[in-house]
Amino acid sequence: MKIVVTGGAGFIGSHVVDAYIARGHEVAVIDDFSTGSRAHLNHRATLYALDILDPSLPKLLSEISPDVLSHHAAQMDLRRSVADPLHDARINILGLIHLLEGCKDLGLKKVIFASSGGAVYGEQEAFPATEDRPTRPSSPYGVSKLTGEHYLGYYQKAFGIPYIALRYSNVYGPRQSTAGEAGVVAIFIHQLLQGKTPTINGDGKQTRDYIYIGDVVEANLRALETSYTGALNIGTGCETDVLTIFHQLRDKAGSRVKAIHGPPKMGEQRRSCLDTSRAEEVLKWSPRTSLSAGLEETVAYYRQVQA
């Protein structure tokens, strides 16, 4: 198949590109490198260095005429979305609409959308959350991701474009940025290996559902093969608090550094955990990487990168 991957030089997108190419698909990457890295780009992919809001995008999509759109380009910083919701909406909502408008008459067979299980549910009432639980995002980022799902539903009904919204939990692993606010695992590892003092926001008892990048990639591969339309949780069903993550990483990094605590961040929910039963049924998929093994792999990667 011919697949367009937006954000294909980013953390998750670049791993997905590698997997698609390894399966023999023809992949075009659209990335403006605002957060992605050329070092992560697969040399067998065709690169178009372009913003997804660029006026030339519809013409480019028409020339490529993809079978599948895998949309990973996004403003993904929850805290920036709180500080600048217009910027978040411009990229995550208008950017998606621009892509769908460019693809709606091209005979697109499927859209695979990187959504956020951690953000669209907001403060959960049940743990783990199923796809049928109420969606009450507590941040503009969560609102924009959920709005994207609604637009995909509209384009499916109006133009017959099937879609899968993969609601990722907290993805971690090699290639994740160690800068900014995204990816506490990568940030902690970088700081521990550098002998710096990590800051834990709040009391550190807030929980997340941490899933290894390899399991997320496998879900994206299987999403190509299903006729299912709608949202699917992609997580582990296990809650882990930030303090536990820090202590495990400190042990694996061989560090004795102690963390300090800062104030809690606005827009962050207290607990997050996803039920993946539907993905297991629809995709015949389940996470296979334990948290300990995934963290071990990730520490080894950054140890090599920083050597």
Beta strands at 163-168 and 207-208: parallel, antiparallel or unpaired: unpaired
Sorted by sequence, the CB contacts under 8 Å of residue 128 that are 6+ apart come out as 209, 233, 235, 237, 239, 273, 274, 275, 276
Rounded to an integer, what distance in angstroms lies between the CA atom of residue 111 and that of residue 240?
A: 31
Q: Is the peptide bond before 128 cis (omega within 30 degrees of 0)?
A: yes
- Is 141 an annotated catalytic residue? yes
User: Exactly one of 20, 48, 121, 141 is catalytic; which is it?
Assistant: 141
Supply the mean pLDDT for the chain: 96
Dist. CA 38–CA 115, nearest whole Å = 24
Minimum mean pLDDT range among 82-91, 123-132, 209-218: 123-132
pLDDT mean over 225-233: 97
Check the CA dihedral 71-76-82-86 and report its sign: negative
Please state the φ and ψ torsions of residue 112, each to the nearest 5 degrees: -110, 115
Per-residue pLDDT, 72: 98
- pLDDT for 248 beyond 60: yes
All domains in the chain, ordered by first residue: 2-171+212-236+277-283 (3.40.50.720), 172-207+238-274+289-305 (3.90.25.10)
Rg of the chain over Cα atoms, rounded to whole angstroms, equals 19
Percent of the chain with pLDDT over 70: 99
Question: What is the chain's length?
Answer: 307
Instruction: Give the sign of the dihedral formed by CA 90, CA 67, CA 115, CA 242.
Output: negative
Q: 25-84, pLDDT tens digit by residue?
A: 999 999 999 999 999 999 999 999 999 999 999 999 999 999 999 999 999 998 899 999
**Position with higher pLDDT, 124 vs 151:** 151
Mean pLDDT of 132-143: 95
